[in-house]
Structure 1
Amino acid sequence: MLKVIAVVISLAYPFIVYWGALTFDISFILPVLLVLLGLRWLIGGHVNERKILLITVVLLLFVMAGWGQLTGLKFYPVLMNLSFLTVFAGSLFAPMTAVERIARLKEPDLPPEGIAYTRTVTKVWCVFFCINGSVAAGTALFASDEVWLLYNGFIAYILIAVLVAGEWLVRKKVKPEEHGRS
C-alpha cells in the first residue's frame, strides 16, 4: 500500500507543486515532499537506496537555501533522475546491471547475449537520465512554472513510455526465437 501511495504522489508531484504554488504559500507544499521522501525511506529496503535518499534530501536543502523553496520543490525531478543515474551507472561496475536484475525477475537463466543486451540497455537509460535530468534542471531554473509542469508532469512521462516501448520492440527483434517449445 505504501508503494502505491508513493507512486501516486510521485506521478502527481509536479501537479501538486504547481497547484500548491498557485493556491497556497509555498511552505505549505513542503510537507508533501517530506511525505514523499518519508514513504521512499520506508519502502526503500537497501542501504544504498537510503544513502541516495539522504543525499537527495541534502541536495534539496542546498537548492532551497540557494534558490528558494519553490526552486527546491521543482528540483525534485532533477534529483530523481540523478538518483536513477547513480543507481544505473553504478551497476555498470557491478557484476549485475540494474536492467539485468530486472530482466532476471522474468528470466532467471538469462543467456550471455541477454546479459550483454541488458548492459547496453542500462547504458541507454543512463544517457536518458542525463538528458532528462538536464532538461528538468533547465525547466526548474529558467522556465516558467507552466513549462516546468508541462515537461516534468507530462513530456518526461511520455519520453519514459516511449523508451520503454522502444526497448520492448527492439528486444522482440533481437531476442532469439524459441524453437521447439509449444
Structure 2
Amino acid sequence: MGRLRVGLFIALSLAYPLVVYLALGRFEPRWLAVLLCVLAVLRALSTRQPVWLVAAAGALLLAGLATLFNDALPLKLYPALVNAVMLAVFAASLVFPPTAVERIARLTEPDLPAHAVAYTRRVTWVWCGFFVINGALALATAFWATDRVWAVYNGLVAYLMMAIVFAVEWLVRQRVKAAHAHD
C-alpha cells in the first residue's frame, strides 16, 4: 500500500501543472485545490521525515489559500514550493553529511571511496544550484507568466532541464570513474 501511495504521489506531481492548466477556466480554483490537498495527504502518508511533513503542510496551506480566496495563484506556487523543499533537503545535507547525493549513491555502492564522496558533495552543490534556478523560474512563471507559459515551464521545460542535469552528471561520473579506475 505504501508503494501505491508513493507511485500515485509521483504520478500526480508530474501531471500537476498540466492538470491545473487544463482545469483552469473550467473549474474554480477552490475546486482545483482538492488536487493539491490530495498531493499533500499522499506526501504526508508516504513519509515520516519532518521535512516532507512540512512540505505537505505547505501544500495544504496553498490549497487553503486557493480555496479561501478562490484564486489560482496559490495553486501555481506549488512547483516553487517543491523546489524550495528540495533545496532545503540538499543544502541541509551539505551542512549535516552525508550529502543527499552520497546517500543515493550508497544505495547501489555502499563502500564509496573518498574521491567518490568528494564528487557526490560537488554534485549536491550542482543540484542546489538547479533548485535555486528552477525554483526562481517556477516562482516567476506563477506571478508574471500566462497560465500556458506556467504549465509549459513547470510541466515540461523543468523536467527536461532536470533530465539534462541527470544526463550530464552521468557522463561526468563515467569520466570520473574511469579516471579513478586504477586507484
Match in the other structure for 2:53: 50
- Determine if the alignment matches structure 1 residue 16 to structure 2 residue 19: yes
What TM-score results when the alignment is normalised by the length of structure 2? 0.90
The reply on whether 1:163 has 2:165 as its aligned counterpart is yes
User: What is the deviation of 1:49?
Assistant: 2.4
Where does residue 98 of structure 1 map in the other structure?
Answer: 100
Structural mapping, 1:79-98, within 5 Å: 79-98=81-100
C-alpha separation in 2, matches of 1:138 and 1:118: 30
**Distance between the aligned counterparts of 1:177 and 1:73, measured in 2?**
47
- Identity, in percent, stands at 44
Question: 1:32 is matched by which residue type in structure 2?
Answer: L
Distance in 2 (alpha carbons) for counterparts of 1:135 and 1:116: 29
> Matched residue of 1:44: which SS?
coil
Q: What is the rounded CA distance, in whole Å, between the counterparts of 2:51 and 2:95 in structure 1? A: 15
Residues 41 and 142 of structure 1: is their aligned pair in 2 closer, same or farther, counting only changes over 3 Å? same
Query: What is the SS of the residue equivalent to 1:101?
Result: helix
Where structure 2 has 5 or more consecutive residues not aligned to the other structure, the ranges are: none
Could you tell me the TM-score, scaled by structure 1's length? 0.90
Q: Give the alignment's Cα RMSD to 1 decimal.
A: 2.1
Alignment of 1:1-182 (within 5 A): 1-58=4-61, 60=62, 64=66, 69-175=71-177, 176=179, 178=181
C-alpha distance in 1 between matches for 2:91 and 2:36: 26
Gaps of 5+ in 1: none
Task: Quickly say closer, same or farther: Cα 1:11–1:52, change in 2 above 3 A.
Answer: closer
Amino acid at match of 1:45: R
Q: How many residues align?
A: 179
Matches of 2:112 and 2:151, distance apart in 1: 40
Give 3-state SS (helix, strand or coil) of 1:92's partner. Answer: helix
